[in-house]
Amino acid sequence: MLKYILKRILVMIPTLLITSALIFNVINLPEGDYFETLSAEMQAQGEKADLSRIEFLKKEYGFDRPVTERYFWWVAGLLQGDMGYSFEYQRPVREIVGDRLMLTMIVSFVTIIFTWIVAFPIGIYSATHQYSWGDYGLTFIGLIGLAVPHFLLALVFMYMANVWFGTSIGGLVDPQYLNQPMSWAKAASVLEHLWIPVIIIGAGGTAGMIRSVRANLLDELQKQYYVTARAKGLPPGKALRKYPLRMSLNFFVSDIGDILPSIVSGAEIVAIVLSLQTTGPLLIRALQSQDMYLAGSFLMFLSFLTVIGVLISDIALAILDPRIRLQGAATK
């Protein structure tokens, strides 16, 4: 196992290097840069652009250098923990992301827990009561959440929360707690506003996980080892927990690679509709304004979380299911 982990870590290094090159090149594909976009926006608003200041900033941040040189300068900064400087916010990227990262992680983590709590019991019930009215009814309710667009659910819930409960869902906290350090009052405000985005974001993921749990568990329930266990008199609940349920969790463990970056990125469209102070709208705005160091460093951070998540899921799969081998060598 230790040899396998070391090998995977060594593979992560070229993977991240290739990913960083792709991210940097894709961000630089559109013509122009942040300063040209800023100048165009100022002229569109009837303001006079200070061309001398813009040229100074271009030279200050290395935009007069070749693309290759700027790429290596950016990567060298990342290796030292420097995520660069945001031109639009006039602050280091690490400070900007840090302001929103905690709220994003709270929303995403609670959403994941909500999805698991709802999806697993429904998926297990649907698999053990296949083609029953409960199976059809619960599956139908889950598919509604998958079919309805998240932004439409957000608008509906905003109206319901305001009319029925008197809660204004214009962010994750009340206005007086914005840019304030965490306190008990601010935490209570976050909890008051949290349930709406959790239900909206978790609706689609819950439906998908219900179908996955049901399909995988049905496949295991039809295998010979479970039929033999039941024929020998093993109680249904114990037989289900000990063998098929454990084997059907492979898809869940293998999905850890997607969970880690989703905790940080969040649901961008829902965050925009609900005016959530999370990192998703920040990334979209950075891409629109070509704030390359903010967008590139954030995407690189998500890539790092992805490869870490894939490594964790592969190790967990090898522990969970002894049928999965670490090496692909043929056996006789």
Which is more confident, 294 or 100? 294
Q: Which two tokens stand for residue 2?
A: 């230790």
What are the domain boundaries of the chain?
100-291
CATH class of 100-291: mainly alpha
Residues 304-313, mean pLDDT to the nearest whole number: 82
pLDDT at 175: 67
Asked if 213 contacts 120 with a C-beta cutoff of 8 angstroms, the reply is: yes
Computed over every residue of the chain, the mean pLDDT equals 77
**Residue 144 CB coordination number (10 Å):** 12
The tens digit of pLDDT for each residue in 40-88 reads 766 666 666 566 767 777 777 777 778 788 888 888 888 887 777 777 7
CA-wise closest residue to 56 among 35, 83, 33, 27: 35
Between CA 55 and CA 52 the distance in angstroms is 5
Q: Is the pTM of this model over 0.75?
A: no
Asked if 119 contacts 251 with a C-beta cutoff of 8 angstroms, the reply is: no
- Classified as helix, coil or strand, 33 is coil
Q: What is the DSSP string of 53-105?
A: HHHHHHHHTTTTS-HHHHHHHHHHHHHTT---EETTTTEEHHHHHHHHHHHHH
Give the pLDDT band of residue 18 (cuts 50, 70, 90). Answer: very high
Which is more confident, 275 or 133? 133
Kindly report which listed range (31-45, 68-82, 125-139, 310-324) carries the lowest average pLDDT score: 31-45
- Residue 325 in this model has a pLDDT that exceeds 60: no
The tens digit of pLDDT for each residue in 237-271 reads 787 877 787 777 777 777 766 766 666 665 677 77
Give the pLDDT band of residue 99 (cuts 50, 70, 90). Answer: low
pLDDT at 332: 46
pLDDT at 92: 80
Q: Which two tokens stand for residue 149?
A: 């667009």
- Report in angstroms the alpha-carbon separations of 311 from 21, 157, 209, 258: 22, 37, 22, 11
